[in-house]
Amino acid sequence: MSQDDDFFTQLGIEPREPNQAAGGRLDATRTQRREERVRRRKKRRRRLITVLILVLVLSVAGGVGFMAYWNSGIASLITGPQDYEGAGEGEVVVEIPDGSSGKDIAQILADAGVVKTAGAFANAYAKNANSGNIQPGTYTLRSGMSADNAVAMLLDPASKSDHTMNISEGATKAQVKERLKSVGHYTDAQVEEAFGATDAIGLPEAANGNVEGWLAPGTYDIADDASATDIVASMVSTTIEGLKDLGVAKADYESVLTKASIVEREATPEYYGKVARVIDNRLRDTDGPTRGYLQMDSTVLYGVGRSGGIPTADQIADASNAYNTYAHEGLPPSPIGNPGKETIKSVLNPEAGDWLYFVTVDLDTGETLFATTHEEQEENKKKFDAYCEAHNDTCYGSSSSPGPKPSATPKPPEASAGTDG
């Protein structure tokens, strides 16, 4: 098209094509041009609509992405984790398992609706210097609490359920029974029935029907619908699993527990390995000076219902006490308590040495001296005698309640009786 033609078009006058005749051919050409302009306008309109739709889609997608971002943990880096305000309301019972980290507790509370977000509790836990003192167990908290209040309640003993039972290492079955009665509110008969239900509690035959030594120390949460048998079964199962984890042969279960229970009563942790070695050395010394007699005060005391101090001369001479290892060779008939993992480990891997004797010369500090000969032992024993002169009640008191670790003062048995009384 020439410039002149364009000029005529702008004036609304369709220019004539060069050498084009008037009439039908001119009308046809005009029609084609109008159609072409219509097509171009429709094409531009379709492009505009496409662009508008694309902008709309991107705007919606961007909004959704932003909301997802805002609701994610990333946004909390800017605004901080969301948290409730105030002390909360109602009651929410939560269980904090043994070994839970601050992160674990945060998730438990968030899932239970106690705190709004795990992040809020994690921050409160981190800034509270006492948070490491939170104990495992069952707690009664509130719904919708601030994270700071949640940490404070977990540190408050009043929040802890009365159904949490703690069994200390070395506790006897008699002491466990009292805990079951006071915490679980079971009757004496119910606990005794549980102790005797050997099949129901999974007690191995090697125990000879006696649960002593098989009631694993630890923390137990007693549910409202749990029977005494349920709890005792859990304790026995924990002991068996612990022995398996340490690689103890099934045939050795009872002897390992018995030795460990003696170590638990005779020594403080720093001496576990040495006392375990003394036990093994004396048991093997059937033809030597000890003739296979353990001569451990703790076993004698167990047989007379005591767990602290030292036995009297009459108690040491009493052969009717089956747990009197001054009078009876070898291990006692059963464990004398329920040992913890560390004493079991010490029995499995005792410290190297040829000691046959030891004496705890200070029942307050647990200081213990070891000897390979009776003469050395007698010199060490003088220190113990001096201690007892100054602490008569500690050494010779008759209380059967848990007390200091008893001393062991074994001496070579006389040829006729196996003890020198």
pLDDT, tens only, 281-327 = 999 999 999 999 999 999 999 999 998 778 999 999 999 999 999 99
pLDDT of residue 280: 98
Averaged pLDDT, 90-99: 86
Q: Is 167 helix (H, G, I), strand (E, B) or coil?
A: strand
pLDDT, tens only, 181-228 = 988 889 999 999 999 999 999 999 999 999 999 999 999 988 888 999
Q: Is 218 helix (H, G, I), strand (E, B) or coil?
A: strand
Q: Is 59 helix (H, G, I), strand (E, B) or coil?
A: helix
- Which has more confidence, 402 or 378? 378
Torsion of CA 395, 401, 406, 411, to 10 degrees: 80
**Alpha-carbon Rg of the chain, whole angstroms?**
42
- Which has more confidence, 111 or 399? 111
Averaged pLDDT, 107-112: 94
Q: Is 95 helix (H, G, I), strand (E, B) or coil?
A: strand
Residue 14, pLDDT > 60, answer no
Beta strand 137-143 with 164-167: parallel, antiparallel or unpaired? unpaired
Residue 413, pLDDT > 80, answer no
pLDDT, tens only, 18-46 = 544 445 555 556 666 666 776 776 667 77
Distance (Å, whole) CA 28 – CA 22 = 11
Could you tell me which residues are beta bridge partners of residue 221?
Answer: 164
Could you tell me which residues are beta bridge partners of residue 92?
Answer: 141
Number of neighbours of residue 295 by Cβ within 10 angstroms:
25
pLDDT of residue 29: 64
Q: Given the structure tokens 């408050």, which residue do they identify?
A: 156
**Sign of torsion, CA 199 204 205 208?**
negative
Distance (Å, whole) CA 128 – CA 27 = 92
Residue 153, pLDDT > 50, answer yes
pLDDT of residue 195: 98
pLDDT, tens only, 240-250 = 999 999 999 99
pTM (2 d.p.): 0.61
- 142 sits in which H/E element: strand 137-143
Distance (Å, whole) CA 115 – CA 109 = 6
